[in-house]
Structure 1
Amino acid sequence: MRRIGCTALVVAVLAAVLVFAGIRTWSGPGPLEEATTVSIASGSTLADAAATLEEAGVIRSAQRFEYFARVLGSNAHIQAGEFEMPAYVSQSEALRILQEGAALQRLVTIPEGMPSVLVHERLMATELLTGDIPVPAEGSILANSYSYERGESRADVVARMQAAMDEELARAWANRSSDTVVRTPEEAVILASIVEKETAVASERPMVAGVYSNRLRQGMRLQADPTIIYPITRGRPLGRRIRRSEIDQVNDYNTYSMTGLPRGPIANVGPEALEAVLNPAETDALYFVADGSGGHIFAETLEEHNRNVQRWYRIRRERGEM
């Protein structure tokens, strides 16, 4: 009986040692020497995640990780996404990250008023995306920030951007005011693109849209400088002052030499510009010019506008710009 008791004690001690060793292995530093990211596909099981961790060098054995995870870990589901694993992360922490941590969010931002040639450049320069794409149709992309995953195709990202535009345009068009001057959703995008290029001040967009709406109603030329530049650079910065010959150039975009809207958008737009042209400010203003502080000053008469222009010229001369 004494021998049986001693054997039982030895077994108990050995079991306690093994449990302690297992807990230390589970909670102790892992083999990963430098931080890395791992991608977990949608629908991955614990075994799938363990294999991914082993391949990335986060853990030594997928089999042992899976065993300890079932015995010592949580029963929460493994999340899909891309996760950052810090150097020497323990197995227990690696599991917690996959179950509870926030997946890495990679964003590509398309600012309001960015032309499609620059959208194309930005997407092509985003190294974690794959595949080639043509320059998207001007005005087809909604200006916003979009998440993407490592290895995702650029074509898929563009498709999401264009689907967002279609959805936002449909929503804005359905809620348009009876005062809007545009007759179709396509015209709304064209006018919104001019508004985007004319002001970077969000609060001014309805007022700028109101001015252009008044001009369109009265058959006046829009005389929007960005429409002169677009046929020359396709929306890239001109890098110099507009020449007299370019102001006089007759084409389907130059609103100094034509009445009505250009043949198409001159940039990609955001929701606020669409909202502005479909619900413009109520105003009698027909003119506006820079006020020297980043915004614009508006006028109802040409006489008043000319005074504002001379004020703007004085500001520019004082700055050494003229």
Structure 2
Amino acid sequence: MKIAFGIALSVLGMAAGLAQAQDKPVQLKISTWVPAQHPLNPSLQAWADDIKKASGGTISSSLFPSEQLGKAFDHYDMTRDGIADLAYISPGYQPGRFPVIAGAALPFLFANGKGGTAALDEWYRQYAAKEMKDIKVCMAFVHDPGSLHSVKKVTLPTDVKGMKVRPATATVGQVITALGGTNVQASAPESRDMLERGVADAITFPWASLGLFGIDKVTKFHLDVPLYTTPYVLGMNKAKYDGMSAAQKKVIDDHCTTAWAEKIATPWADFEFGGRAKIAALSGHEMVKLTPDQLGQWKKAVAPAENQWAESVKKAGQDPAAVMNSLKQTLAKHNSGL
């Protein structure tokens, strides 16, 4: 019986291997808009390599960084239309289009990028299919908290009045407007040029990426607080996914998890976290530290942005209080809330 059982297992294993071998080869185009040296790219490549291994070599991928397949603002539509099979999407580049996930960009919510990513991914799964119905949302993640970086010193929220600011997301843009500033729209790769030409006076950006995009060359003052973070998703073209075999779909599903989101985001979170000390050490740069009273003024000043966000969520048919409470509870679960 032991011999027969062993033979049966062997036959089953051979059958599984044969079925996998019969799966049609799939080639995925993965698009990001960050530079090739950005830590997100090797993380995504390692993820794609693991997919190839798990699929028995039937799912291969090619990574296209630096906006090779299209502009940063277009990555959601590129995924929907199949220009990219998978893409790194910043929902905040599409003002008003994705109101639920925009809540994660509200100021003073996230304490870190690692647990914050796990929390965002876990939380957004209950809304993703409805809000981003044109694509398959594989996972969501955030960078380590960033801040406001400017060409002139900003200490109080009243200092923003009259300034031209490039916001990271539409949600942050609402904050800038509420403070009396003017929003200047630009993707991350375009931002240094905007600041150099004086089109913008300040920018909200994560710490280490300041150097990666050359923004440290044009901003010298840095608000030393975890002001905000930016939610992102890795989206997949639905037709590409639907065209896969059941076994291949399972491989993709096994790699579109909260655990994988945190794994992919961790090197980036470490990178951005380490950037703060590097910026602080630069000659000619000033880290603007806030007193408890000044920090309180900032928190009070940005509060109206949540009211604006709540209205947009209501229009989308969701209960903003329930959505925000769910996010905060999930952040607390992952020790990543402020």
TM norm structure 1: 0.27
Q: Could you say which structure has the greater relative contact order, defined with CA pairs below 8 angstroms and 6 or more residues apart?
A: 2
Structure number with greater Rg is 1
Higher relative strand content: 2
